[in-house]
Amino acid sequence: MTLHREGKPTMAIAATVLAVVAVTLYIVNLPFWAKGFIFLPFLVLFLLVLWFFRVPARNLPPDGDIVIAPADGKIVVIEKTFEPEYFNDERIQVSVFMSPLNVHQNVYPVSGDVVYTKYHKGKYLVAWHPKSSTENERSTTVVKTGNGTEVLFRQIAGAVARRICFYSKPGDKATKGEEYGFIKFGSRVDIFLPVTAQILCKIGDKAVNKVTEIARI
């Protein structure tokens, strides 16, 4: 397991605060139990920050017609819906909700050519709000696979998330399972698939990036 580069500023601040508290408690004249009582919450907070920015070691999945989960979390939506930004037609939407305790690295769900990317500023409605996919801060990426199928996936900020990071641009080569982005402090990722896709997951399933099979296209 490694720690994500997007967490360096936050981890540095957390480490500095922890060090200042430790030094201060060492200097002041307090009973040992009192020092421990004060220090413990700061230590727990520091460990939570490290936990949030963790990137587990996982093998890249094989190429093929399987769409994998782009994020860790819980499958909360599987439905036919109209996709207005790129396709302008009906697609199957699969949504993965990410809690603050999930791994927040986002990976390509398919391999192919990146043909479209766009970042949208927006609100910070709770991630399960019906309008969050069109009104919240978000990024959209479309990859065209080797058989010509296009898959759209969208990072959506939530009420807690305050920064979406994505590294794709048109012309890039996407490799299934490789990182394409990161969302800080909880949100969700939507995947838009052809209506002919065979869905391999169900609502309530636990999604694991690089591992969970979402659909066959």
Q: Which residues are catalytic?
A: 187
- Asked whether the beta carbons of 191 and 212 are under 8 A apart, the reply is no
CB 10 within 8 A of CB 54: no
Residue 12 token pair: 């540095």
Nearest-angstrom CA–CA distance, 45 and 89? 45
The helices-and-strands tally (H runs, E runs) of the chain is 3, 16
Which residues are within 8 A (CB) of 183 and not within 5 positions of it... i.e. 6 or more apart? 71, 98, 104, 106, 155, 157, 161, 163, 164, 165, 189
- Strands of 99-212 (E only): list them: 105-107, 112-120, 138-144, 150-157, 163-166, 173-174, 179-184, 187-193, 198-199, 206-207
Helix (H, G, I), strand (E, B) or coil at 23: helix
**H or E stretch covering 133:** helix 132-135
